[in-house]
Structure 1
């Protein structure tokens, strides 16, 4: 679903920038980045589970019977080595496509998704009843790793563009960490809310392009 919206959004951007004669404003939208990020997480999960199965198979079997292979994505049974290889190839493909097409936020976006997914998976789920020390730990981990990523991004931008405002503008995204305690994993958005945000992203950019074109006329 996300990939479909990413493609539709990109087609809308191409149509608008071409018809309004604004080709310099065309970029590969962030929904493409999110779709690639999902593929990246799937690839990493594939490698991890396949590697775990290989470790289990390599252990001595102390009792009679064959070691059961747990790697079974979507009901399709494949050897662990093939799953590992497939995951590595998929991850390499995701990185290549991200570098080649340079969607919005590019590798920075992929690493951001990976950081928060790892913290979300390994730390206790945030709930109102969660102990304060665990809430604080979760929040500090998000802040620490995201701030470090932003500093590395800023350092790379300075090397590329010089010490300018644009090199540090992404640092403002760290402020979003302040709102993380409002998130609770168990709550899922309604279908209306979900599709509203899918539609809002391309529509608000389309509106901005139309306003920009009108101001130039």
Structure 2
């Protein structure tokens, strides 16, 4: 049965954290991690106040093959990163144990992750894997997304929740629509592309962790009942 775990690790304990090094106060939010052939291409947003030193650190890192500014909006820039994920022990462990990255936010000292693992055993194996790799891993809230009510937000992150709630309350999904994507972006002070991505991920995660998960659980129970 799948579980979602909130994890915290030092920024300097894994490769991507060292690549995305911040020298001043600020945050980096990982918007998405897109598989591309043998690579995993992350998209992340950075505020303008730390952009210059951030870009210089990233471009000079030996694991980085390229960084591209995708868009900018109201003091925030969205980047895509071409990097060698095989050098990152932390993410290799996530991939090997079939973990799915739901969210990640980093500061100059710490990164916080929300990762879904297929079973409790996979999460335990990941903890042991990190210990053997000398990665200081702090486990926060753990919950089972299959049963509605056991996890407070069903894997939907705070920015995704805020965006989805404002969209519904503002009439984004009404007929006729009372709020456009740009209206929602202006309200949240982010780019319209970030709005679209947050809504997509929120709806996908919410559906997977409620409707689909419950369907799978009911099917499993039905099969067990037939065998007995």
TM interval, short-chain normalised? under 0.3
Q: Which has the higher helix share?
A: 1
Higher alpha-carbon Rg? 1
Give the structure with the higher percent strand: 2
Superposition TM-score, scaled by structure 2 size: 0.25
